Amino acid sequence: GGPGCGKGTQCERIVATYGYTHLSSGDLLRDEVKSGSERGKALNDIMEKGDLVPLEVVLDLIAEEMLKKVSTSKGFLIDGYPREQAQGVQFEQQILPCTRVLYFDVPDEVLVKRVLNRAKTSGRARVDDNEETIKLRLNTFHKNSEPVIDYYKDKCTQIVALNAPDEVFAEVKKVLDAI
Ligand code: AP5
97-106 per-position pLDDT tens digit: 999 999 999 9
Cα separation, 166 vs 32, whole angstroms = 31
Convert the pLDDT of each residue in 25-84 to its tens digit.
999 999 999 999 988 999 999 999 999 999 999 999 999 999 999 999 999 999 999 999
Distance 85 CA to ligand 1 centre (A): 19
Å from CA of 4 to ligand 1 middle? 4
43 pocket-lining for ligand 1 (C-beta < 6 Å): no
CA 132: distance to chain centroid? 20
Looking at residue 68, its pLDDT comes to: 97
Average pLDDT rounded to a whole number, residues 87-98: 98
Provide the pLDDT for residue 123: 87
Ligand 1 atom closest to the CA of 46, numbered from 1: 27
CA distance 177 to 179: 6
Torsion of CA 134, 139, 144, 146, to 10 degrees: 90
Report residue 36 CA to chain centroid gap: 23
Angle ∠(50,97,157) on CA atoms, nearest 5: 65
Ligand 1 in reach of 134 Cβ (< 6 A): no
